Structure 1
Amino acid sequence: MKNNAYNPYVTERIRRFDGALTGICYSAPFMHCEQGSHTLLNERNIITLQNHLPAMPELIIIPLQGNMLTQFLQATDNYSFLRSDNVRLAINYDALQQAGPELRSRASDFRFWLYDLASPGTRWQNIENFPLSGIVLTDEFFSENYLKFSFPFMLSSFREREAEVILRTSRLVLPEESYTRLHISGWQEQRTSSNLFEV
């Protein structure tokens, strides 16, 4: 049974390890709501959030996948509001692999975050050559790799490029200093499925 009282603004908050709110991320299912629904999308400009949050966050993360990614690539000028300094577009590795050149050509105007750093079959060269402004680690990937000797060095390479490194998890299990020592700059409070792009 559908819950009609469910808040359509499904967000996951991004925080620094001192608890400071630095951003919000929409879930992919929210992004697939009816385009004609102005009450949900504020005339389709979802950057206008003043009425929905007590204070504007530093960053707003918007997933791009499926039809929205296709529309974005076909009519990029229609999405000029996503060029705002505090907006990041979340892509997954499939999008990077399928539309890498098209996305790269737009990277000077839009900022991209990668949300599945090491999905099966990942070619690291594709990630290293793309001008990402952030990466988000899954809880599963982090748990399997954070004790490995090479892990901090891999993350430091992203930090050297001034890319944010965020952990997406439902709860923090290590002390704050453990994350900062690993070059992780914050965490995203996971409220939906383990895959941000699952619809």
Structure 2
Amino acid sequence: MKDFKILCFKSEAREFQRDSSEYIARIPADPQDQFALVMAVGRDGAIGFDKSSEGVRALNEIVSKCYFLGANNSIQMPEFPKNMFMPALLFRDKYGRFEALMNAHKKYEAELKKYKVLSRHRDAQEPSMSVLSTLLQDDQLLMNEMVYRGLQSACHYVISPILSGEHGRGAFNVFAKNLDFFFEEFKSVVSGSSGINFVSESELLFD
């Protein structure tokens, strides 16, 4: 065994969401959309990306390719983390479309501030919420149909961490209409250190 290995359970939404977390189960995905759970196992069998230096590097490489949700629900530009880091949500931009969603969100925030000032003095039309504004104003970051379709169009993939820790630190769910782009990118990140071992749901390990 090399420094670490990756275990991955991949399936269509209609199967994946049956036994997933409440957050994942509530995503309004089409039945054929693709979801995957990704976790890491160290050389000694310890579970988590943090159990090996190569695991930390691999996770940070993926994080560095994505826009991510930072403090106070602010969207941050891609950057390479100094330490192992898994934000609340990550968004892999597709052809500049996620950047366009960010710009629409900034425009909405500016128009909302203007509306709040004007509405104190006269009738004013409240601006329509953008895709990201709708997502970020939900305390649980739940995705309605508009948000999910918007992200699906603007992102190669979206990553949501597994907060329970049951599959070790850094484990995550990833979803898209088609996950081929993610797996090509992830394979290049872990090449030379670990292959991706596709397993059934029953073969996933628990910490």
**TM-score (ref. length: structure 1):** 0.24
CA radius of gyration, larger in: 2
Higher share in helix: 2
**TM-score (ref. length: structure 2):** 0.23
